[in-house]
Amino acid sequence: MSSVFHYLVLHPDLIAQPNSSILVGSQDAQCTNFNQMLKKVLHEHRDEHGLEVCESKFGMPLKECSMYSWRKCAHTKMNCGSTASPTSAAVCLQEGKSLGASRDPYIAQEAASDCVTGRILAGLPINLPEFAASYPDFIPIDVEQSLMSSVSEVEYNEHATEVNAIIREVMDSIFGAENMAVFPSIHPFLRIGLASHLHHYNEINKLIPPNGKLRQTPLFTNSHVLELKKHVRICMPWDGHAHFFAEASGLMPHHVQMNNEKRIEQKIDELPSKIEALLEDKQMNGPVSLSQMKKLVGNSPAMRRVEQTIARMESILEMRMESNSGLPADNA
């Protein structure tokens, strides 16, 4: 996402040419340019002995690496040694391979599988619940504060209008207002691309050389760009602010189960602080019995694990009350 966005930042005129190729020149020229850049990048990555990592770690000599190798490695990555991989049809479509006459009316409709391939190639861990991470986006309010005191829809819209105005100004300065007007359907992609750039800003800033062309663009020279960084958020399905994002798509069944388990873990982790806050609140407004506390917190699935502990505490408290009143323990 960030790489394609950065390429468009360096070639803003492409925004005004929605039907043209993203790379300049004939198909052969595009392939040659890609291969040259690929070899240049791989040549920079070496191990402790000075050998290219592509050869020392993966057994692929630098001279044999090309666009074909890139596509082949992407295919391997999408299968990733797991049975929970996308369908072969979705993988082939992502690689641009022809599937014959059945492609358009049938196989191209695998939208969910297409989302799976995108998540895998983005580097998300397929065996962890974090595979369900959201896309980066601009949330115009303090998310944590909104969870503690709900923000009204009117207030949220006011903040959103202000932030969206800054985003439009930044986009116009990067790509040009006229170019943006020609291709309005690309605006959501550019918005997420800008959010992704800001989310990874610290790492990107380290990788780009001081005299890099990208640093000469409004992406780095416009002061409003960094101001937007505080509004960039990502979320997981079990987060409290997940409702600000579209529902995660392209998830396999085991990820849905992982997400449910993560929600339970989150509630269990929050249990001590919730009990402490409950007791503190009740002590300010009068004493609370253990039976009342059990009734208040027992309705939550995450609290059922402590019901036995509460029962034992209740029994101990009753015995102490009887002991203090002078009654023998045998009468309990």
pLDDT tens digits, 185-219: 999 999 999 999 999 999 998 888 888 899 999 99
**With contact defined as beta carbons under 8 Å apart, do 256 and 208 qualify?**
no
Domain residue ranges in the chain: 1-18+128-251, 45-125, 253-331
CA distances from 44 to 19, 40, 41, 121 (A): 35, 7, 5, 22
pTM of the model: 0.68
**With contact defined as beta carbons under 8 Å apart, do 190 and 176 qualify?**
no
Could you say which residues of the chain have pLDDT below 70? 1, 80-83, 96, 98-111, 143-151, 278-314, 316-332
**With contact defined as beta carbons under 8 Å apart, do 250 and 156 qualify?**
no
Pairwise CA distance, residues 228 & 234, whole Å: 14
pLDDT at 88: 75
Q: List CB contacts of 159: < 8 A, sequence separation 6 or more.
A: 140, 141
pLDDT at 290: 59
pLDDT tens digits, 164-191: 999 999 999 999 999 999 989 999 999 9
pLDDT at 44: 85
